[in-house]
């Protein structure tokens, strides 16, 4: 089981639901991708579609053939972003939609984050999609890809992974990109860099690379940085 602890550069606010209403995410590795189930439960007078936006790691894309269009008034897919407008008639009772994200070459693991909004009882309600975040695909043998996924259990071939926070020593803007100096890496492993666009925005993985023990530097291009203004790092290693 993975321990997820993160150290961020700057301040971050923990998301806490103000209402019992909300959307949760479950993930299941499948051949060539990962099946996503978005479930909802609301109490009150439904007055609009439920708008869900999911943002996933580069290299992953929505398999159009698996999208339940009959449950939607609209949908939109572009690159690593997917938006769904769930019909109001389906929201009076707990329900869900399910679709598959396909894993591109070299992207056997990643993460997903999202948020939702709708009008309920005369009020605009919104929040983060909570639940599973780590994407992993199954290979042709039915086991997890070789890059591994620390958030999945119960699948043969998935190694347990420990996540250790990595301190960011300095932050320097270089042209349109960023250099992050880090310290505190006691052993080699996979360094995962996450970015966040603001204090109330979700963290998204923007880069991962193999590193050796000791201090080091990560260079992020303008494409890596995107809209991110805050950064944090963690080291993934096989759990002992």
Tell me if the pTM is above 0.85. Answer: no
Domain containing residue 181: CATH number: 2.60.40
Mean pLDDT of the region 124-131:
87
Same domain, 43 and 121: yes
Is residue 47 predicted with pLDDT exceeding 90?
Answer: yes
Least confident piece of the model among 2-16, 29-43, 73-87: 2-16
Is residue 10 predicted with pLDDT exceeding 50?
Answer: no
Count the residues in the chain.
240
- Number of compact structural domains in the chain: 2
Residue range 91-126, pLDDT digits in tens: 989 999 999 999 877 665 688 888 999 998 889 988
Same domain, 82 and 177: no
On whether residue 56 sits in a domain, the answer given is yes
Which of the pair, 2 or 75, is modelled with greater confidence? 75
Contacts of 207-210 spanning 24+ positions with Cβ under 8 A? 208/236
Least confident piece of the model among 40-49, 79-88, 176-185: 176-185
Structural domain for 57, as ranges? 22-136
Percent over 90 (pLDDT), the chain:
25
DSSP E strand stretches across the chain: 7-9, 22-30, 33-41, 50-56, 60-62, 72-78, 81-86, 95-103, 109-120, 123-128, 130-131, 134-136, 161-174, 177-183, 189-196, 204-211, 216-220, 230-238
* Residue 49 near residue 23 (C-beta atoms within 8 A): no
Average pLDDT taken over every residue of the chain: 77
């Amino acid at each position: 089981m993975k321990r997820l602890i993160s150290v961020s550069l700057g301040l971050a606010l923990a998301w806490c639901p103000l209402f019992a209403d909300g959307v949760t995410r479950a993930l299941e590795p499948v051949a060539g991708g990962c099946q996503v189930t978005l479930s909802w439960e609301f109490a009150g007078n439904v007055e609009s579609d439920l708008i869900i936006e999911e943002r996933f790691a580069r290299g992953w894309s929505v398999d159009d053939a698996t999208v339940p269009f009959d449950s939607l008034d609209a949908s939109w897919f572009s690159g690593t972003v997917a938006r769904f407008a769930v019909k109001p008639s389906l929201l009076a009772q707990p329900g869900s939609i399910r679709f598959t994200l396909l894993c591109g070459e070299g992207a056997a693991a990643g993460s997903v984050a999202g948020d939702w909004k709708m009008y309920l009882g005369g009020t605009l309600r919104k929040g983060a999609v909570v639940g599973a975040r780590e994407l992993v695909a199954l290979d042709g043998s039915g086991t997890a890809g070789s890059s591994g996924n620390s958030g999945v259990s119960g699948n043969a071939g998935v190694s347990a992974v420990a996540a250790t926070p990595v301190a960011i020593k300095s932050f320097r803007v270089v042209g349109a990109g960023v250099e992050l100096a880090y310290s505190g890496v006691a052993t080699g492993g996979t360094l995962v860099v996450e970015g966040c666009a603001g204090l109330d925005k979700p963290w998204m993985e923007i880069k991962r690379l193999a590193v050796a023990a000791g201090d080091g530097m990560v260079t992020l291009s303008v494409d890596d940085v995107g809209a991110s203004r805050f950064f944090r790092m963690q080291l993934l290693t096989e759990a002992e």
